[in-house]
């Protein structure tokens, strides 16, 4: 059931119309997701082209798929022709940072649904649990890492997680990450990623610290704002 306070999907437009890979659209159709929400319609065509973007949208407006579809489509997976030519096959190509364990789990779950046919390898990293399952997954090979800044930085400092091949960086709920005191960790992690990456920042509000972060680390970003519907 759709929350009437949320923006309504355009029932004429489909994800295929936005240029989304057929495997991803098919995976979404399996769970009844056919029509994009406004932030998805606005952001996906731009982000698929590699543009940096800033999305202002609260939780529940469809922002996870707005960046998740792009990440799933732009990373190379083992069955892609170019995978073998990667400099470091099996090292993470995408990093998605979230402020909480719960959001990291939810984002990873949405990625696994949308990527169920394409089969990108998604690893969720957060504290409060043992290291070994996360380390084993990293040894086996991972395409996308979703995690909280503290544990992600911990694994980077231990040299178990390599970010030098990340081409897609997402900062989700950036304002909340800053409120929770993660800015120093986020800055250290960004510094570990290549300068030529694509960066997408999503935030419910745009306080001065988030604006400063975006100005420092995003290249000519497009700003997108998805308002909740009053209807």
From first to last of its 231 residues, what are the pLDDT tens digits of the chain? 234 344 566 568 999 999 999 999 999 999 999 999 999 999 999 999 999 999 998 777 899 999 999 999 999 999 898 898 899 999 999 999 999 999 999 999 999 999 999 999 999 999 999 999 999 999 999 999 999 999 999 999 999 999 999 999 999 999 999 999 999 999 999 999 999 999 999 999 999 999 999 999 999 999 998 765 432
Rounded to the nearest 10 degrees, the angle between the axes of helix 63-74 and helix 101-114 is: 60
CB 147 within 8 A of CB 73: no
Helix (H) / strand (E) containing 73: helix 63-74
Give the whole-angstrom CA distance, residue 81 versus residue 37: 31
pTM exceeding the 0.85 threshold for the entire prediction:
yes
Tokens 């529940």 locate to 60
The Cβ-side half-sphere exposure at 101, using a 13 Å CA radius, reads 5
């Amino acid at each position: 059931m759709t929350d009437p306070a949320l923006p309504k999907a355009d029932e004429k437009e489909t994800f295929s119309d936005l240029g989304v890979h057929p495997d991803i659209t098919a995976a979404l159709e399996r769970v009844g997701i056919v029509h994009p929400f406004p932030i998805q319609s606005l952001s996906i065509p731009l982000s698929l082209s590699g543009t940096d973007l800033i999305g202002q949208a609260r939780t529940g407006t469809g922002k996870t798929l707005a960046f998740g579809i792009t990440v799933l489509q732009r990373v190379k997976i083992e069955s892609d022709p170019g995978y073998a030519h990667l400099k470091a096959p099996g090292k993470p190509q995408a990093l998605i940072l979230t402020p909480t364990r719960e959001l990291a789990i939810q984002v990873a779950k949405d990625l696994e649904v949308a990527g169920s046919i394409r089969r990108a390898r998604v690893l969720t990293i957060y504290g409060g649990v043992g290291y070994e399952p996360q380390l084993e997954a990293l040894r086996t090979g991972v395409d996308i890492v979703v995690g909280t800044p503290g544990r992600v930085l911990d694994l980077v400092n231990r040299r178990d997680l390599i970010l030098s091949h990340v081409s897609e960086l997402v900062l989700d709920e950036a304002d909340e990450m800053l409120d929770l005191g993660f800015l120093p960790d986020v800055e250290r992690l960004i510094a570990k990623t290549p300068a030529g990456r694509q960066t997408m920042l999503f935030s419910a509000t745009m306080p001065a610290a988030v604006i400063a972060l975006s100005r420092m680390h995003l290249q000519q970003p497009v700003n997108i704002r998805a308002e909740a519907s009053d209807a």
